[in-house]
Amino acid sequence: MQRLAIRGDLLDLTDDPGFGAVESSAVRFDADIWLLVEDGRIAGRSRTDPGEGWTRIDHRGRLITPGFVDTHVHMPQLDVIASYGTELLDWLNTYTFPAETRYADPAVSRAGAERFSDALLAHGTTAAVVFPTVHAVSSDALFDAAAARGMRMITGKVLMDRHAPAGLTDDVAGAERDCTDGIARWHGRGRLAYAVTVRFAATSTPAQLAMAGELLAAHPGVYMQTHVAENRAEVAWIAELFPDARSYLDVYHRHGLLNGRAVLAHGIWLDDADRARLAATGAQIAHCPTSNLFLGSGLIGWRALEAAGAAVTLASDVGGGTSLSMLRTMAAAYQVQALQGVRLTAWKALHAATRGAAQALHLGHEIGSLDVGCTADLAVWDWAVGPVATHRDALARTLHERVFAWMTLGDERNLAQTFVAGTSRFERRTPECRDG
């Protein structure tokens, strides 16, 4: 039996803390305690050194959280992150589609998947819902890379049979065959799950959307991921392409794509009927704040979505998003809400990037918390890095004030170590990390 004990300040959320409450019973914080891990799963906590028989890692003075869950991110778009000057549709044509075309090459896909998986781990993200490209080889490469690292990965080849360059389009029959093969090969293998991946409604014909709905019906437990209502010009285009649909979201509903395992990125330009539809079907919105700000897409109505009963999780959306860091994502989410007169607490933001995301993906029993029995996907953080953040941390009067400063001033430079199922997969070597 593998036995690992990690010492530090443990923080997670036991429930949704709601908006606005800086004091919440949902916050679970234990300062300077040993987290016990047996055979890759969390086994308990100990106030005292567990002694011989345990591999001890002393991170006292550091923060330990569950590994982050990023519910929407694009593997090939590391190539185009921080590209200047366009809104969504121009950005896709100018930067994204040319970059994705290169992933038809198996060597490019393999190198990209390795780079991307390591980058997630170096940002404290241990589970993700990911877009590869239209090429089946890109999703195979990503599944391979995630499996080699033991990560929880949800992905699947992208469906696009129109309104894209020739090197990025498929056809209904070929896409169905690739997806069916991918589901048989990868879904349920270890910590991997397949997602029927519709790029967005504009790039799939009605026939392809119908095929995607049939795949979901034929394979219960498979996920669906796509984009919805991100940009006003995009919404207008969808209305032209699907004049019989009540709304952008209704396009997906009509084709059987909305269910409790559907992850729809953005969801900015939705109305009350759309929000009610999300709640009725159990589909979640992956909120991508750095992307929405960078591309000028708009400000999500998070509170309105939750008031209607819809789930909202947090996502980096690289490369429209500007960082794989979920700390930066949480800080940007605070700013998006502040622009609408809503105050997002550190607790609410952290919940949406950990337990809340896990529960929305039906994985709350496995990831997103420090509950006994969960997989030991963990991130270890310095509370503060640099003179400004260190000074601010020292002046914090309450736990929320301290965590909010960590969230607002921190990023991947705060990360000391990442564990996946109790195995160290990233470590920033410093004198302060004492292995015992």
Mark out the alpha helices in 4-58 (DSSP H runs): none
CA–CA dist 54, 37 (Å, integer):
9
Tell me, yes or no, whether 246 lies in a domain.
Answer: yes
Tell me, yes or no, whether 329 lies in a domain.
Answer: no
CA–CA dist 200, 134 (Å, integer):
12
Q: How many domains does the chain have?
A: 2
Q: How many CB atoms lie within 10 A of CB 436?
A: 10
Say yes or no: 206 and 134 in one domain: yes
Say yes or no: 13 and 143 in one domain: no
Say yes or no: 299 and 426 in one domain: no
Tell me, yes or no, whether 334 lies in a domain.
Answer: no
Say yes or no: 402 and 320 in one domain: no
Say yes or no: 132 and 190 in one domain: yes
pLDDT for the residue numbered 430: 62
Say yes or no: 291 and 157 in one domain: yes
CA–CA dist 418, 211 (Å, integer):
39
Say yes or no: 197 and 316 in one domain: yes
Tell me, yes or no, whether 348 lies in a domain.
Answer: no
Of the three residues 256, 291, 324, the one that is the final residue of a domain is 324
Say yes or no: 60 and 79 in one domain: no
Tell me, yes or no, whether 200 lies in a domain.
Answer: yes
Provide the CATH number for the domain around residue 195: 3.20.20.140
Say yes or no: 46 and 97 in one domain: no
**Mean pLDDT for back-to-back runs of 10 residues, the chain (436 residues):** 96 95 96 98 97 95 98 95 85 89 96 98 98 98 98 98 94 98 98 98 98 98 98 96 98 98 98 98 98 96 98 96 97 98 97 98 98 98 98 98 98 98 92 47
Of the three residues 324, 358, 388, the one that is the final residue of a domain is 324
Tell me, yes or no, whether 331 lies in a domain.
Answer: no
pLDDT for the residue numbered 2: 92
Tell me, yes or no, whether 282 lies in a domain.
Answer: yes
Range of the domain at 125: 68-324
Residue closest to 428 by CA, chosen among 369, 382, 377, 376:
382
Say yes or no: 244 and 379 in one domain: no
Residue closest to 18 by CA, chosen among 369, 357, 344:
344
Tell me, yes or no, whether 373 lies in a domain.
Answer: yes
Say yes or no: 192 and 87 in one domain: yes
Of the three residues 295, 324, 353, the one that is the final residue of a domain is 324
pLDDT for the residue numbered 255: 98
Q: Which residues, in sequence order, are CB contacts of 379 under 8 Å at separation 6+?
A: 64, 65, 66, 67, 68, 124, 126, 415, 417, 418, 419
Provide the CATH number for the domain around residue 38: 2.30.40.10
pLDDT for the residue numbered 434: 46
Say yes or no: 32 and 180 in one domain: no
pTM: 0.96
